Amino acid sequence: MNTEEIYQRQGFGHTTGIGQRCCLLMVDFVNSFVDPLQLGGPHIQDAVKATVPLLAAFRSWGLPIAHTRVVFDANGSDRNLFATRVKALQALTEGAVGSQIVSELAPQNSEWVVRKQGASAFFNTGLADWLHFQSVDTVVVTGCTTSGCVRATVVDAVQHNFRTVVLSDCVGDRALGPHDANLFDMRQKYADILTRDDLLSHLHSRQGAST
């Protein structure tokens, strides 16, 4: 019995579908995570490009949009164990170029930019409560890295009772092995894995009906 069959027999791999109201969550699409010479990989640049029209669509529909950045205080006051272990994170301060959202996806108007210091976009931020206040029941996750902050965010999203969708071509990693392994885990246990165009066509038909 292969791995897929084991999971299937034990009742994993179900989907939860798309609910009434989606939020687009873009995890850590910042300069340093896109640059393969810093914390990124070429795969992440592709994910950025794939996200551009998705963001435009969410804007056109007026749906909630949130970005995340890792931001530590330049004076070291909020350093935590995670940044002690992964020292490169300490350079991601409010004004650092590396911690700015990439220009292709620059936040507009009233889009919320969540400052975070952990892996999950939900950890010690008000994201779950904010989503609730926006009447969101479905979180569409893009960003990087698949095996890091995306995975951590997805686990928390489902724990907070949000239907969770990961767009396989809008998430990226610094290496493909962990990317694929984490898409497998998330699909089996936590999230529906769709392509960007699958989601867009689903939402287009719905939004078309409502406008």
Residues identified as active-site: 149
Instruction: Tell me phi and psi for residue 106, to 5 degrees.
Output: -55, 135
Beta-sheet strands, E only, within 32-157: 65-70, 112-116, 138-144
| Residue 175 φ/ψ, nearest 5 degrees | -155, 150
CB of 186 closer than 8 Å to CB of 152 = no
Structure tokens at 63: 């749906």
Report the site for a copy of itself in 109-128 (rule: CB under 8 A): 109-113, 117-120, 123-126, 128
Is 87 or 209 the residue whose CB approaches a copy of itself more closely? 87
User: Could you tell me the smallest distance in angstroms from the CB atom of residue 167 to a copy of itself?
Assistant: 18
Taking CB under 8 A as the criterion, the residue among 45, 57, 184, 202 binding a copy of itself is 184
Site string for a copy of itself, 11-50 (x = CB under 8 A): xx-xxx---------------------xx-x---------
* Cβ atoms of residues 139 and 122 within 8 Å: no
Answer for which of 178, 200, 202, 207 binds a copy of itself (CB under 8 A) is 178
Tell me the residue type at 205: S
41 HSE (CA, 13 A, CB side): 17
Question: Under the criterion CB under 8 A, does residue 77 sit at the interface with a copy of itself?
Answer: yes
One of 52, 97, 104, 161 touching a copy of itself (CB under 8 A): 161
Q: Does 99 bind a copy of itself (CB under 8 A)?
A: no
Q: Is the dihedral of CA 123, 163, 105, 62 positive or negative?
A: negative
Residues 165/157, Cβ–Cβ less than 8 Å: no
User: Could you list the residues that contact a copy of itself (CB under 8 A)?
Assistant: 3, 6-7, 10-12, 14-16, 38-39, 41, 73, 75-78, 80-82, 84-88, 109-113, 117-120, 123-126, 128-130, 132-133, 135, 137, 147-148, 151-152, 155-156, 158-163, 174-178, 181-182, 184-185, 189-190
